[in-house]
Amino acid sequence: MISLAKGLSLFAVFLLLLIGLSYAQQKKSPLHTIVEDVFDEADPFNGVVLIASNGRVHAVEAFGKRDYETGSPLKTTDVFELASVSKQFTAMVIMQLQSQGKLDYDDPVEKYLFIPYKNITIRHLLNHTSGLPDYQAIMDAHWDKTRVADNNDIIQYLNKYAPPALFPPGDRYEYSNTGYVLLASIAEKAGNADFTQMLREWVFKKYRMMDSDLRTPSEKKQLKNLAYGHIKQAGTQSYVKADSFPSSNYTIWLGHREGPGRISSTAYDLLKWDRALYDPRFFTPEMKREAFKPAVLNNHSLSQYGFGWELGVDEVLGKYAQHSGDNPGYKTEIVRYIDADKTIILLCNNAHDRFEKLLDALKKYVMGL
């Protein structure tokens, strides 16, 4: 039989544990609370969230696993595949070449490349109004997936199979990965240099984005801090690496393409990139006007896409530029509230279907900062 003193002592210990648990719950970070509200424990979010205000990190946190096979936890410094967030970097190389007088936005594509589509300009490629067909569909249908394709292969197949254009250039906006493949190849012709080297010299090295690069699949695997992309197995809550399915994973057999994707980076490096876009010595007022100017279509209406950025105006925070990325196993997003100087960087390596809900919740949170 427990004595009264011992019973009181045990009760005191139990009370202290409850107080400690309550205190721990109260100390959860805002990001942790947001993620917890959006995701189920049985199918959690894998990724890194970074919120910045006026260039300073307001909050940053990593959730989940870098690799499901090893169980290693994600860190805020881990490298993610950016997918189409890469397009803004391709656009920057083109803008740098324009500022050097090596090309003009209204140059016709045929000045630099032979393709079976006419009257398309560099500007059309930048703002997705070219009407070009989808190169991935052509390659998926005809390419030998035991080989790894590059831009020259893609352009060769565009000429070989020449599927019809979707619409006359400038008639409407339609997102085009093909256009950004051509932009990288145009950059090499106009700049007389390797596209990857231009990216490294003009952006990554200049702003000390030491974890950022345009890497091949084999180069990414050599990274010790790579957040592997994972895909949920049908009908289960378990995940496998996206590269488990080489024949259906275009990032492998299109692993040498340049322009529309393939850059890998960290949340911290993307914040450095965000700051570079406030530096008038790098991103001149003229570049800024062009990059964040909606495209004017042939019927004089506007398309809310600039040079590698989706554009809009928030009622609270003013003008913003953002872009998403989506590769097998990855979902990514960068949102820059330009007037308010607030930034959301969201990197996910289990391509979760609640990614957009999390992004919406983060946008609401940023409005309150």
Residue 3 is a catalytic residue: no
Per the residue annotation, which of 84, 176, 212, 265 is the catalytic one?
A: 84
Return per-residue pLDDT of the chain as tens, 369 residues: 445 445 445 554 454 454 444 444 456 899 999 999 999 888 899 999 999 999 999 999 999 999 999 999 999 999 999 999 999 999 999 999 999 999 999 999 999 999 999 999 999 999 999 999 999 999 999 999 999 999 999 999 999 999 999 999 999 999 999 999 999 999 999 999 999 999 999 999 999 999 999 998 889 889 999 999 999 887 777 899 988 777 667 888 888 999 999 999 999 999 999 999 999 999 999 999 999 999 999 999 999 999 999 999 999 999 999 999 999 999 999 999 999 999 999 999 999 999 999 999 999 999 998
Which domains are seen in the chain, by residue range? 31-367 (3.40.710.10)
pTM: 0.91
What is the C-alpha separation between 225 and 221, in angstroms, rounded? 9
Q: Is 144 exposed, middle or buried (0-12, 13-18, 19+ CB in 10 A)?
A: exposed
Sequence letter at residue 90: T
Element (H, E) at 180: helix 177-191
Token pair for 32: 């942790």
CA distances 43 to 227, 239, 353, Å, are 18, 10, 10
Q: Taking the CA of residue 168 as centre, how many other CA atoms within 13 Å lie in the half-sphere pointing to its CB?
A: 4
